[in-house]
Structure 1
Amino acid sequence: MTATRPTSTPDFVGYPAARRGIRALLDGRPALHRHPVPACPEWTVTDLLAHLVEIAGRVLGRHGGTVPAAPAPDSTAPELLDRWDDVGRELDRRLAQAGGRSGDLMVMDAFTHELDLCAALGVAPPAEHVAQAPSLEVLVRGFSGEVTALGLPPLRVRSTDGLTWTAGEGRPEASVTAPARDLCRALAGRRSLAQLAAMEWSEAPGPWLPAFGWGPFTPPPSAGA
């Protein structure tokens, strides 16, 4: 994958920003804590928070910290938010010590789920977010690997704010263009095949649509938010 983009935000900056964003969505709204999250089928808000706490613990362990015990199944959303902050503050410190580029998958996961919560709760996502650029880099990298693995022609991926990537190997044979936020949702399995095909393509998108199902991501059967 090749790219034209500015230097990314360090993970120890992007990660606490996602934690703050998610806390701001949920603080003082206890009635929503069992609310379903459509982008994560079968998950409620508390299920999503438990996942974020678990991922933070795993990454902390990989960086030399003590892996915390898994949250209790009956943990409340406020308890999970506090637990995530406790683990996250130690993790922020260790990410900074590691140079700020060793938690990019975790940042992408947290940012993606922040957008999932915005969609689930009917709240407009923030106009700007420091975790967006590093998250998009991770997502394009994974997509690029799938383009190569499937033997597809290289594809230029463009955001409307001027960032460009080449997904796959070689000279791009087509391009897809969308706002950065929409690219994040598309590359993280939050857009249906119909929504993906409706983006701005320079060629018929059919050959590249299978590559949007990569890693843990699968396009939903119906329109996603």
Structure 2
Amino acid sequence: MSVTDPRRVAGLYQDTRQRIVALLDDHGDATWGAPVPACPGWSVGDVVAHLVAVAEDWVTGTLAGAPTDEQTAEHVRRFAGHDRAELLARWAAAGAELCRRAEVDGLIAPVGDVTSHEHDIRGALGRPGERGSEAVRYSSDQVLTRLDTSLPLCVTVEDADYRCGPDAEPELRLSTTRFEALRWRTGRRSRSQILAMDWSADPTPILGELCLFGPATADLIE
């Protein structure tokens, strides 16, 4: 199966969900209220509530793309007062339904969202890892393929080049990793952190075009 096969994508989602659950099990209830630096104002429990809501809404068709700020706030409100065990049970059920839908009608699971939040939670718990996972590779490919800039740009990661912008010279170049690309594209790096990356020239003219969300208002060190 290719990485674009819905069943394969659903498998990446489930693998990532299971890694998050294992992390939460390792740390127990004590860290449920821990702040998540990558998601200011949210706790670990809030991030999980959001993930459960995204999975449930994806299955029902209520959500089909990146949620708005209003939708993410509603996700947290929706599960206020729900305990950890209930949330994880609902997430397991929604994950199973994503797999079923992938099989029967080709629904593509929201891997980018769950992968980004896996690393948000890892940062909150001080447990970095899985930066070379297939979910990171898939998600980084998705966000880099969608990159569109007003100046010619080539982003080089471990195993590929991504070119965007007009076909012109000189071409601005950035050397980075898939993990870092996923993080800055999804607003987990500040303006100063983005400017400090390995650029061939000053990226300031396209800085506002690089992030799907953000950039972060403060440096995030992971």
TM-score tier after normalising by the smaller chain length: 0.7 to 0.9
CA contact (8 A) 1:112 1:185 kept: yes
One-letter code of the match for 1:205? P
CA distance in structure 2 between the partners assigned to 1:78 and 1:212 by the alignment: 38
Instruction: Give the paired residue count.
Output: 202
Asked whether the 8 Å contact 1:191–1:219 carries over to 2, the reply is yes
Asked whether 1:157 is paired with 2:152, we answer: no
Within 5 Å, give how 1:42-121 maps onto structure 2: 42-62=41-61, 72-99=79-106, 102-103=108-109, 106-121=110-125
Q: Which amino acid aligns with 2:99?
A: D
2:121 alignment partner AA? L
Conserved? CA contact 2:184–2:211, under 8 Å: no
Aligned counterparts of 1:19 and 1:192: Cα–Cα separation in 2: 27
In 2, are the aligned partners of 1:175 and 1:202 still within 8 Å (CA)? yes
Write the letter of the residue equivalent to 1:59.
W
Which one-letter code corresponds to 2:31 in the other structure? L
TM-score (norm: length of structure 1): 0.82
Q: Find the counterpart in structure 1 of residue 184 from structure 2.
A: 186
Native 8 Å contact 2:152 2:165 kept in 1: yes
Q: Give the 4+ runs in structure 1 shifted more than 6 A.
A: none
Which residue matches 2:72?
A: none
Deviation at 1:71, TM superposition (A): 5.2
- Bigger relative CO (Cα 8 Å, ≥ 6 apart): 1
User: Is the contact between residue 143 and residue 212 of structure 1 (CA under 8 Å) also seen in structure 2?
Assistant: yes
Query: Structure 2: any 5+ residue segments left out of the alignment?
Result: 63-74
**Alpha-carbon spacing, 1:163–1:98, altered in 2? closer, same or farther (3 Å):** farther
Q: 1:166 aligns with which of 150, 163, 173?
A: 163
Instruction: Tell me the alpha carbon deviations over residues 113-138 of structure 1, each in whole angstroms, 9 at most, x when there is no partner.
Output: 00000111111222531211221122
Cα deviation for residue 79 of structure 1 reads 2.0
For 1:7-58, what per-residue CA distance to the aligned partner results, in whole angstroms no more than 9, with x for missing partners?
5363112100110111011014210001111111111111111111111111
Q: Indicate if the aligned counterparts of 1:189 and 1:212 stay in contact, CA closer than 8 A.
A: no
Q: What is the letter of the counterpart of residue 205 of structure 2?
A: P
Unaligned 5+ runs, structure 1: 1-6, 64-68
Cα pair 1:27 1:78 within 8 Å, conserved: no
Write the deviation string for residues 79-130 of structure 1: whole angstroms up to 9, x where unpaired: 2122101111111121233346x23xx1100000000001111112225312
Which amino acid is the alignment partner of residue 8 of structure 1? V
Q: With the length of structure 2 as denominator, give the TM-score of the two structures.
A: 0.83
**1:8 and 2:11 correspond:** no
